[in-house]
Structure 1
Amino acid sequence: MASHLIQGRTVGMPVRVRDAEVCSALYPVRADAARAVIAYSGLDVAEVLPGKAVCMLVFVDYRDGDLDTYHEFGMAFLVRPPGSSGAMGLAELRRAGVFVHWLPVDQEFTLEAGRSLWGFPKELADIELRLASPYKRCILRKDGRLVLDMLVKPGLPVPGAGAMAPLDAYTHRDGVTRRVPWSVRARGARVRPSGALIRLGNHPIAKELSELGLPKRAMFATTISHAEMSFGEARQI
Structure 2
Amino acid sequence: MTSILITGASKGVGRATAAELARRGHRVVATARDPRTLDGLDVAQRLRLDVTDQASVDAAVEQAGEVDTLISNAGVIFRAAVEASPLEEIERLYAQNTVGALRVVQALLPQMRRRGNGRLVLVSSMGGRIAMPGNSAYAASKWALEAFGESLAIELSKLDIDVTLAEPGPISSGALDNMTTYALDDDPYAALLEGGIPPEMMSSPEQVASALADLVEAGTVPLRVPIGPVAQHVLGARDAARYDEPFLPA
Which TM-score applies when normalising by structure 1? 0.27
Which TM-score applies when normalising by structure 2? 0.26
The answer to which structure has the higher helix fraction is 2
Q: Which has the higher contact order (CA 8 A, sep 6+)?
A: 1
The answer to which structure has the higher strand fraction is 1
Q: Which has the larger radius of gyration?
A: 2
